[in-house]
Amino acid sequence: KFGVELTFKPFIRVERLSAKEFRTQKINIQEGGMTDRELITRAMQAAKNAYAPYSGLKVGAAVECTDGSVFTGVSVENSALGSSVCAETAAVCAAVGAGKRKFVRMAVYADRPDYYVPCGACRQMLADFSPNAELLCVNAEGRYVSYSLRTMLPTQPKKNM
């Protein structure tokens, strides 16, 4: 599949959605959902509150729910590495704690030159609730790429519910 690049100053969107997914996204925006830029701004603002004394990499995430509500999360490092929390997981947990279970998309930002992409555990966390969610991966310049979560995590376990 070929992508279409659309430019929004200072943001750039590299479209990687199917035509059907893209039409659905446009409808969501018209019905009062956030624009990509607004969701990215929330993630960038959240990153300022991240706690990263070891790596120095402050990460912020903003997840948009199907009802239009948005929850943010930040990375929180700990000297016991396994106790650290990723921003993406923190955002999903905040939403779930408020009773939300369905997500449209998530913006993830880190102040670094390459696009910040969620780790496999965070992709799976989001996929457990919304396997068709969109990921907006943002770099320090505010440039971003859009991925379908299905593209980044093509085989997902089935739930016994």
Active site residues: 88
CA 7 to chain centre: 20
> What residues have CB less than 8 Å from 28, skipping those under 6 apart?
104
CA proximity to 7, closest of 114, 143, 124, 107: 143
- CB 75 within 8 Å of CB 87: yes
Q: Which amino acid is residue 103, in one-letter code?
A: F
What's the CA angle centered on 154, arms 63 and 138, to 5 degrees?
40
Residue 147 pairs with which residues in a beta bridge? 135
What is the C-alpha to C-alpha distance for residues 79 and 115, in angstroms, rounded to an integer?
Answer: 26
